[in-house]
Amino acid sequence: MYTGISAARSFGSIGQPQVVDQPAAVLPRVTGITMRTTGNSAAVNCCAICPVALGVGSGGMAANGIELRATIEGHRAGFEYDFVRTRRNSMWERRAGAWEELEFQPMGQHDDHHDADECLRIRAKRIYVVDRPGWHVATPIAAGTVLRGVAGGTAHADATDIVLRLSFAEWVIARHRGEGIPWRRLTQPGSTVWRSITWLRRNGTGQFVLDAARSRIGAGVLSAATLRSAPA
């Protein structure tokens, strides 16, 4: 948060510098960010893809749903807001009992490609974002379907398990073009972190079904070492 005053110099009639106090840019404050992973996205969440189902197996898909809500204090007309998200991720498959890593990307991967998942107009002092990491296909998934990861990894037709794991860092920024305030962070990148695990297993008829007992979504971090280790 940027508050207080800044000193600007001017020159008096005798040519001596005079210090003039002028207000510095005062930014709104994020007083809290909460996560929801049950039920549906909030009724007041105006994101373009809302409403969405939250939790493991979001809406019957091979994906998990989460909603983040940021509470803003000190908003004034003209301020714009945005959620920014980065991630690290891996994808593994098991074939004939052996695990193989299909892809890995370190933390810092850009994961904020559009605003369709965000409600950035202040509503009761809040803004919202949703995400549904995983595969946006209904389960069970037909035998022979080719599943790809975030970074181009491709599973084989004879895989018995496929696991997509992601770790996210999320923060809020704001700007005010009328007051000449560029985008500035209201929260730090490491202050809001969450993770998602989507685990698919082959059933007796060759279809992929979601293994809900091994899938997860919620607060916390998946380290690079965890993502690079075979699922357990």
Average pLDDT over residues 191-220: 97
d(CA 232, CA 223): 15
Give the pLDDT of residue 22. Answer: 45
Distances (CA, A) of 25 to 13, 74, 78, 81, 121: 29, 12, 13, 16, 21
Give SS3 for 224.
helix
Q: How far is CA 53 from the centre of its chain?
A: 16
Give the pLDDT of residue 25. Answer: 82
**What's the alpha-carbon Rg for the chain, to the nearest Å?**
23
Per the listing, tokens 């970074």 go with 151
Give SS3 for 190.
coil
Q: Which residues contact 85 (CB under 8 A, 6 or more apart)?
A: 111, 112, 129, 131, 168, 169, 170
Report the percentage of the chain scoring pLDDT > 90. 86
Contact 50, 38 (CB under 8 A): no
**pLDDT tens track for 59-73:** 999 999 999 999 999
Give the pLDDT of residue 4. Answer: 31
Domain ranges of the chain: 5-227
**pLDDT tens track for 155-188:** 998 999 999 999 999 999 999 999 999 999 999 9
**pLDDT tens track for 4-51:** 333 333 334 444 555 444 457 899 999 999 999 999 999 999 999 999
Contact 127, 72 (CB under 8 A): yes
Asked whether the predicted pLDDT for residue 58 surpasses 70, the reply is yes
Confidence of residue 118 (pLDDT cuts 50, 70, 90): very high
Strand partners, 141: 208
The model's pTM is: 0.88
